[in-house]
With several copies, the nearest count.
Chain A
Amino acid sequence: MSKKNPEYDFKWCPGCGDFGVRRSLELAMIDHLEESGLPMENNVVVAGIGCSGNLVHLLEGPQPYGFHGIHGRSLPIALGVKMARPELNVVVVAGDGDFLSIGGEHIGPQASRNLNVCAVVMDNGVYGLTKGQSSPTTKLGEITSSTPYGKIEMQQNPLELYLTLGVSFIASGFSGQPRLLANLIKQGMDHPGFAIVHVQSPCTTYNDTFEQIKGDAKKGIEPSLWQIPDEHDATDRASAYGLIQQGGLPVGVVYRDEARPALNQRLQESWEKARSRTTEELMKAFEF
């Protein structure tokens, strides 16, 4: 709510990738609303703690509901919001540290449940808000403020992790392509299950990867970014696995399984076996 709120004094650094993600999310939410005809208040943005999570305060235009809680817990908070009110459109925004390190435990369970929310992960390969420590996606050997002699643990491969855990919609994007990214986020919102849009959103202050991602012909640097070809069959798990093994930064939808019922749907079905009783009826069982 930056524009409207002088009291909110956090600002992203000039050039921070998160600006692009914010724009993409705004576009995606608006698209989504135009289709659904619902007001912006039907959106709930659950934010992690980090430069990335601060996005929830920096959205411009009409404001969605937000929940800016504690570090690493955006997914279970989203679980609560969504299962309480399945009609709401629930979006998670979090950083690589928040989502994959301290919050890593929550990805598997939501994937197994196929919780119908869309998580936008802003991966800059570093802990930005705490000023440049290494994160799970920081590369082996890299020197950061918390790895003065080089990182001695392997980086994670988030896309493969999501696939293995059973996330039913996996997209990969780049903050430097806001419209393309908006489209991926929109697809994630529309997906009837757990969707993760993993975004490379460079930290220009502590880990500026723009050049490496976009490449630089003059310096002879190949871009790591590549568009996922239309031929890619995202519904085929094996192809998705193969695609991820190619490395680099693929942009597009990596995997989608729309057949798997979402948690709230399976819950509905399970109720057919159940019988809902009034408190009076429940008490009967204890009479004598």
Chain B
Amino acid sequence: MEMRDFVVRFAGEGGQGVVTSAEGLAQASTQVGYHALTFATFPSQILGGPTWTQARISVDPVRGPGDAVDVLVAFNREAYDNHQGEVKAGGVIIFNSNDFELDGDSRGVGLPIDQLAKSTGNNRAANMVVIGALAHLVNMPKEYLDEFVIKRFTRGRASDEEIIKSNILAMTLGREHVSASEFSLGELAPSQPPDGDQLMLKGNEALSLGAIAAGLQFYVGYPISPATPILLYMERNLVGEGKFAYQVSSEIESITTVLGAGFAGKKAMTASSGPGISLMSEGLGLGWMAEIPCVIVDVQRGGPATGLPTKTEQSDLLSCMWPAHGDVHLPVIAVGTVEECFYGAVMALNWAERYQGPVMLLSEMSLAERAQNIPKPDLSKIMVESRDVYQGSNGYQRYAGRELSAMPLPGRPGAYVANGSEHDDIGDTTHLAERHVQMTERRFSKLKLLEENLYERDKPESPVAVVPWGATKGPAREAYDKLIEAGVDVGWYYTMLLNPMPPKMLEELRRKELVIVPELNYQGQFGSILRSLGVKAESITQYTGLPFKVSDLVSRISEMANASQREMVRA
């Protein structure tokens, strides 16, 4: 039968080629026009340790890593034991017969990975052996893979030809070895190459690129999983005159340094994860109070406290929206796909410049470590905003009025004191009631500048809607499509803009009988925020450190939708 989509999980020890095989497969597939997504997990130790990576190859754009595994590639016995349960009925298990023997599992195909690789004279071709084997299972034409290998290893070196030969041989050996066994999954439908260039990258990389595309000039950070790759990317690439990327001594330094740079006129950003974001609390309040543009990225991991550094969760929403004492309410943009990592970062920088204050950009471990092909952003189409800079002479009242005003640039006329105490128009500290009223209203009025009606919706007429946020978008949308197929009457709303929310979307949600919010936290954080905004929201929560399974969402959403339908009938 024809397949549009298949999922392979590679499991073994760190260092056995688990990751390179997954990425190789993904690259091979994307190069011949398929869509691919890989999701890597971390072993909790530094070297070795059990690890696995999943690759999903599809004719259509991919939304998530996928629930059920079609093929498990088990590099060792432990991997087999831990993952064989995930293999769906009719699935196949390729096991490294150089490492262990497997009897009594009818799904098993032994593949002497190391030995076959060796026989090609190129030990590093082990992953090609595996890829060849997989290609056979889904009947991927040999030409496809050869093409990929040729492309990949044509680097204008003398050794090219030889390497290409050995790799093609490795794939062929893998292919033949498996074809000997009668196993097959079916026929992968021919690829429908997306038009336009594509990029294959991870969420953290897309986010970094987006920030740079929006004109980022200044970045400081402190290492923390899963945000560290952003720091490393910036230190390598945000270089040259007028740029600065640096590792500071703590997240307290990160946020206050970023505030200094934002004040001095730069587009500045820092990224961290839960514990680091909590340390920034006081500094975030200062940014709001002194009106300093900057972007703070929270690549969420499992919490609280040191929590679960290598797991994914969506539990920082409340503390990012209200991060500090006093009346502070920060803008929040939460990205849901690798592509949104790019465009969300662009928006976050634009928002910071537009309203002159800190913007929280929420990502998640599951996005940060997900590699995926996305349409290459067209920079000429990206609208980049910069703050309104004061151009006049001295004697300027930087904080005058109840609304946004132009921001002076140190070195130029317009000197004032950026002040974290309540202040008057020129930034001197004051305690007068009228001032506190004026400045409080001024700070909140600026949020209005960020109200944009950017959101997705389907079946707006339905009284029930599914409204996920962040990376739950992927599985939620897969589930939603299935529910629609099944004829369930339910609408779909999604936005990256969690504060301020798109006013029209909020209006529509307020009219719903029930708004179902699937989210990866215990408290149902977004659900409770929606309720406080007058929406009849109920959350579907999960707090396992893992993303939702599509199948779980399908059943839990339809349950809730039907229940409310029954109620409506009764009423």
The answer to whether A205 and B46 have CB atoms under 8 Å apart is yes
> Could you tell me which residues of chain B, from 222 to 244, have a CB within 8 Å of some CB in chain A?
222-225, 228, 231-232, 235-237, 239-240, 243-244
The answer to whether A102 and B411 have CB atoms under 8 Å apart is no
- The listed residue with most A CB atoms (<10 A of its CB), out of B222, B247, B416, is B247
Knowing A13-B46, A81-B410, the reply to whether A7 touches B432 (Cβ < 8 A) is yes
Output the least CB separation between A86 and chain B (Å).
Answer: 9
Partner pick for A80 among B225, B261, B305, B427, CB 8 A cutoff: B261
Q: Is A69 an interface residue (CB 8 A)?
A: yes
- The listed residue with most A CB atoms (<10 A of its CB), out of B198, B259, B268, is B259
Q: Is A101 an interface residue (CB 8 A)?
A: yes
The answer to whether B237 and A277 have CB atoms under 8 Å apart is yes
User: What 0/1 readout, one digit per residue, does chain A (215-231) give for beta carbons within 8 Å of chain B?
Assistant: 00000000000000000
Q: Is B200 an interface residue (CB 8 A)?
A: yes
The answer to whether A46 and B260 have CB atoms under 8 Å apart is yes
Complex: A60 Cα to B246 Cα, angstroms = 36
**Who on chain A is nearest to B285 by CB?**
A70
Output the least CB separation between B62 and chain A (Å).
Answer: 15
The answer to whether A9 and B275 have CB atoms under 8 Å apart is no
The answer to whether B264 and A44 have CB atoms under 8 Å apart is yes
> Could you tell me which residues of chain B, from 383 to 422, have a CB within 8 Å of some CB in chain A?
394, 408, 410-421
**Who on chain A is nearest to B202 by CB?**
A286
Q: How many residues in A have their beta carbons less than 8 Å from beta carbons of B?
A: 78
Complex: A66 Cα to B410 Cα, angstroms = 9
Instruction: Give every chain A residue within 8 A of B266 (Cβ-Cβ).
Output: 84-85
Output the least CB separation between A82 and chain B (Å).
Answer: 8
Partner pick for B261 among A11, A40, A84, A127, CB 8 A cutoff: A84
Instruction: Give every chain B residue within 8 A of A101 (Cβ-Cβ).
Output: 249-250
Tell me which of A143-151, A182-190, A233-241 binds B: A143-151
Complex: A64 Cα to B426 Cα, angstroms = 12
Knowing A10-B44, A85-B410, A288-B198, the reply to whether A66 touches B416 (Cβ < 8 A) is yes
The answer to whether B424 and A5 have CB atoms under 8 Å apart is yes
The answer to whether B421 and A72 have CB atoms under 8 Å apart is no
The answer to whether B46 and A109 have CB atoms under 8 Å apart is no
Instruction: Give every chain B residue within 8 A of A130 (Cβ-Cβ).
Output: 223-225, 228
Output the least CB separation between A288 and chain B (Å).
Answer: 5
User: What 0/1 readout, one digit per residue, does chain A (224-258) give for beta carbons within 8 Å of chain B?
Assistant: 00000000000000000000000000000000000
Knowing A68-B421, A283-B199, A283-B209, the reply to whether A77 touches B256 (Cβ < 8 A) is yes
> Could you tell me which residues of chain A, from 34 to 67, have a CB within 8 Å of some CB in chain B?
39-42, 44, 46, 49, 51, 54, 56-57, 63-67
Partner pick for A131 among B27, B228, B305, B420, CB 8 A cutoff: B228
> Could you tell me which residues of chain B, from 188 to 240, have a CB within 8 Å of some CB in chain A?
197-201, 205, 209, 212-213, 217-218, 220, 222-225, 228, 231-232, 235-237, 239-240
Q: Is B379 an interface residue (CB 8 A)?
A: yes
Output the least CB separation between B483 and chain A (Å).
Answer: 34
Instruction: Give every chain A residue within 8 A of B220 (Cβ-Cβ).
Output: 80
Q: Is B179 an interface residue (CB 8 A)?
A: no
The answer to whether B275 and A71 have CB atoms under 8 Å apart is yes
Complex: A77 Cα to B414 Cα, angstroms = 20
The answer to whether B256 and A73 have CB atoms under 8 Å apart is yes
- The listed residue with most B CB atoms (<10 A of its CB), out of A1, A46, A145, A288, is A288
Instruction: Give every chain B residue within 8 A of A11 (Cβ-Cβ).
Output: 45, 48-49
**Who on chain B is nearest to A101 by CB?**
B249
**Who on chain B is nearest to A263 by CB?**
B246
- The listed residue with most B CB atoms (<10 A of its CB), out of A10, A149, A274, is A10
Instruction: Give every chain A residue within 8 A of B418 (Cβ-Cβ).
Output: 65-69
Q: Is A105 an interface residue (CB 8 A)?
A: yes
Q: Is B544 an interface residue (CB 8 A)?
A: no
Complex: A39 Cα to B268 Cα, angstroms = 26
Q: Is B263 an interface residue (CB 8 A)?
A: yes
Instruction: Give every chain A residue within 8 A of B224 (Cβ-Cβ).
Output: 130
Complex: A101 Cα to B27 Cα, angstroms = 40
Q: Is A168 an interface residue (CB 8 A)?
A: no
Instruction: Give every chain B residue within 8 A of A105 (Cβ-Cβ).
Output: 249-250, 252
Instruction: Give every chain B residue within 8 A of A161 (Cβ-Cβ).
Output: none
Complex: A137 Cα to B151 Cα, angstroms = 44
Instruction: Give every chain B residue within 8 A of A49 (Cβ-Cβ).
Output: 306
The answer to whether A41 and B223 have CB atoms under 8 Å apart is no
Q: Is A23 an interface residue (CB 8 A)?
A: no
- The listed residue with most A CB atoms (<10 A of its CB), out of B212, B260, B414, is B260
The answer to whether B263 and A133 have CB atoms under 8 Å apart is no
The answer to whether B235 and A146 have CB atoms under 8 Å apart is yes
The answer to whether A8 and B46 have CB atoms under 8 Å apart is no
Complex: A11 Cα to B411 Cα, angstroms = 28
Complex: A148 Cα to B231 Cα, angstroms = 11
Complex: A84 Cα to B244 Cα, angstroms = 7
The answer to whether B416 and A65 have CB atoms under 8 Å apart is yes
Q: Is A191 an interface residue (CB 8 A)?
A: no
The answer to whether B244 and A41 have CB atoms under 8 Å apart is no
The answer to whether A106 and B253 have CB atoms under 8 Å apart is yes
> Could you tell me which residues of chain B, from 310 to 351, have a CB within 8 Å of some CB in chain A?
none
The answer to whether B232 and A145 have CB atoms under 8 Å apart is yes
**Who on chain B is nearest to A5 by CB?**
B428
> Could you tell me which residues of chain A, from 61 to 116, have a CB within 8 Å of some CB in chain B?
63-73, 76-85, 87-88, 101-102, 104-106, 108-109
Instruction: Give every chain A residue within 8 A of B228 (Cβ-Cβ).
Output: 130-131, 133
Pairs across A and B, CB under 8 Å, 15 listed? A5-B428, A7-B430, A9-B44, A42-B411, A56-B417, A66-B417, A67-B263, A67-B418, A70-B286, A70-B306, A76-B248, A77-B257, A83-B244, A106-B249, A283-B209
* B residues in contact (CB < 8 Å) with A: 27, 30-31, 43-50, 197-201, 205, 209, 212-213, 217-218, 220, 222-225, 228, 231-232, 235-237, 239-240, 243-244, 246-253, 256-266, 268, 275, 282-283, 285-286, 290, 305-306, 373, 376-377, 379, 394, 408, 410-421, 424, 426-432, 435
